[in-house]
A and B are shown apart, each in its own frame.
Chain A
Amino acid sequence: MLSLTAVGKTFPGSPPVHALRAATFRVHPGEVLGIVGRSGSGKSTLLNVLGLLDVHTTGNYCVHGQDVSALSDRHRTALRAHFFAFIFQQSFLLADRTARENVEIALRLQPLTRRERRDRAAAALERVGLANRSAFLPHTLSGGESQRVAIARAIASEPRVLLCDEPTGNLDERTTAEVVDLLLGAQATGAAVIIVTHDLVIARSLPRLLSVRDGHVTEGAESFLATATDQNMLA
């Protein structure tokens, strides 16, 4: 479904930064994939390229068989709107909207009636266990609840690929486990779930891992896991 062939990303400057070098891999529908690496290794760049938030500079990236390098910003935005959904370390909820309205925003770009939108938002909140919080404003929610609203927002639009950038970075262990469960649950709908993390516990629980080091993407994460055994969490 996602196919990368020698994809690279270079940020111009002196000297230019090669954030991503010749990444080649595929992601299949319904697959769960972890991306690990140290800070500054290029994980986020990879995620941005995957999610069409950023444009790669070399190589070929095909989404659903379509080469995206040729797409205009408008088409890339449109493709992103209904192919991808994002979950970030921060929940980025709109402070002046209720939990349900925050979820509805992601559904604005779909041809739904107001009622359908509301029902789907409510259903998504129910899936993340926040049905009773739908009318709450973000500042009344805990960190875990906020992140669950963000997950509801992501899954409500029924994306084909769920891109998660350090989704549990701000959460405690117990909440982390809940959130990861929810993320993996999205797989059940046929979506691919890609999780960028440096949490070893999470990484070990994922069926497939890619590691990123100095912009090089390699399949598997043995070296990364090995070097990190002495410390559970990496900075």
Chain B
Amino acid sequence: MTPTQQASPRVGVLGITNDAAVGLVRRPARTLLCALATAVAIAAFVTINGLTESARGAVSASFNVLRATTVQFTGGTSHDPILSEQGVGRLRRLNGTIDAGLLWSLNQGQPINVARGPDEQDSSTATPLAFTSMSASALTTIGATTSSGRLYDTGADLHHEMVALLGASAAAQLGITSVIGSPAIFVGRSSLTVLGIVRSAQQEDQALLGVIVPPYAAAVIAGTRDQRQVIARTTPGAAQLIGRQGPYALDPYEPGEITAEVPPDPSTLKASVEKSITTLLGLLGLAGLGVGILTITSITMLSVSQRRSEIGLRRAIGYSRREIAGLIATEAAGVGILGGILGVAIGVITTVVVAQTRSWTPVLATGLVAVAPIIGLLVGMLAGAYPAIQATRITPMSALRS
């Protein structure tokens, strides 16, 4: 039997891995210290990512869904009210509009004296109240609800009914607690039948402080000089779109005359928050990983030079250069994986603690948690490459010279 004709004896991947694992476990202090460098880098990575996510969550939470789906249109001079019921009808047919209605403040927003009796107009018993005109659809758009009576509908304008709704506080000021008996209020020479007392509305709730009347009654009381507004509710996410399309629907001839007031786009705001943090994340993460790689490299180099005799002995015993390199690289990779796992743990804890102090909901990408040990492995392998090559240059002769 010629020895070299036999299969070359090999330690094998399993043997090397086992050897490396034992080496790491038996030198826990060095292993841990070495892993800590990677751990800190990956912890920073995970923490920044987690905090970005959590902050984004907090930003979106601060967006009121209601506000984010409301669009207001203003336009037209007082003499030329270009916002009309017809326009609102077209706006309502746009895909993404849930409801829309006309509304405006009467008398330039100045209060108008309201009396309980026809002869009390100028007496000191008259109560100054703000008047808002709303089409029937505007009432549903703002989500008004009554505590007594009912809301008016489109029939009120159609039949030129002189009706009014009182906000809860206005009703209290006028001493009206219920619409039973059809109480009336007097404005100038007009009398308005109180149809209902509005308890709450999701929008435009300043209108609840005063009197709400349909457009016809508003015109009778204060004329048509006031600037009109259209309020529209959209499906979530459609506000921007309706804001752009609305002017064309409201007045196809002069869309430029109409300005739309849309809520800030949550996605652009989030993106701007995200962008600045992502850049920071990228830089810090990379810097951290770089430090991790350098640390593992230098500690592994040190370890290789301390273990010259061990490496020489292994070479003398018959470990090939490749197996020596494998051993050193595997140890470094093991350190990297350990660092990755430690880093994720530290990162998760830090994220949760910081989010807690900011009373954010901690949000963590599960993928990152799974990927971190792999990042650690790559860091370790990258860091171990050079020392591993160095180790193969050690000859048994030089290392074992007594």
Contact = CB atoms under 8 A, between A and B. Distances in A.
A44 B315 CA distance: 17
A94 B15 contact: no
Contacts of B312: 92
A48 interface: yes
Question: Taking each of B8, B9, B317, B320, which has the highest tally of chain A beta carbons within 10 Å of its own beta carbon?
Answer: B317
B57 interface: no
A34 interface: no
A79 B320 contact: no
Contacts of A28: none
Contacts of A51: 316
Contacts, number: 92
A88 interface: yes
Contact of A77 (B2, B15, B313, B318): B318
A139 interface: no
A71 B8 CA distance: 13
Contacts of A158: none
A81 B402 contact: no
A109 B318 contact: yes
A88 B402 contact: yes
Interface string A82-105: 110110111010101100010001
B15 A65 contact: no
Contacts of A109: 9-11, 317-319
A189 interface: no
Interface residues on B, range: 20 to 34
A154 to B, nearest CB: 9
B9 A92 contact: no
Interface string B297-319: 00000000000011011111111
Contacts of B10: 109
A54 interface: yes
Nearest to B314: A105
Contacts of A82: 3, 6, 9, 318
The dominant DSSP class at the B interface is: helix
Nearest to B15: A108
A75 interface: yes
B23 A92 contact: no
Given A54-B397, A96-B27, A165-B402, A73 B321 contact: yes
Interface string A113-130: 000000000000000000
A94 B319 CA distance: 15
A43 to B, nearest CB: 12
A109 B22 CA distance: 17
B26 A96 contact: yes
A66 to B, nearest CB: 6
Interface residues on A, range: 35 or more
B96 interface: no
Contact of B3 (A79, A105, A106, A111): A79
Contact of A53 (B27, B321, B395): B395
A53 B321 CA distance: 13
A96 B2 contact: no
Interface in B136-182: none
Nearest to A81: B318
Given A101-B22, A105-B317, A109-B317, A78 B8 contact: yes
Nearest to B7: A111
Interface string A25-58: 0000000000000000000100010010110000
B315 A77 contact: yes
Interface string B6-29: 101111000100010011001100
A166 interface: yes
A92 B4 contact: no
B2 A65 contact: yes
A82 B318 CA distance: 8
B396 interface: yes
Given A65-B2, A88-B400, A92-B309, A80 B22 contact: no
B209 to A, nearest CB: 81
A111 B9 CA distance: 7
A64 interface: yes
Given A89-B402, A96-B23, A108-B319, 15 more contacts: A44-B401, A51-B316, A53-B396, A71-B4, A77-B321, A79-B3, A82-B9, A86-B400, A90-B309, A92-B312, A92-B313, A92-B400, A97-B26, A105-B19, A109-B317
| 8 smallest beta-carbon distances between A and B, as pairs | A81-B318, A96-B26, A109-B9, A89-B402, A78-B8, A109-B318, A92-B313, A53-B396
Interface of B: 2-4, 6, 8-11, 15, 19, 22-23, 26-27, 309-310, 312-321, 395-397, 400-402
18 contacts: A53-B316, A66-B3, A74-B321, A75-B8, A77-B320, A78-B3, A78-B318, A82-B318, A83-B3, A85-B317, A86-B400, A94-B313, A96-B27, A105-B19, A109-B11, A109-B317, A110-B9, A111-B9
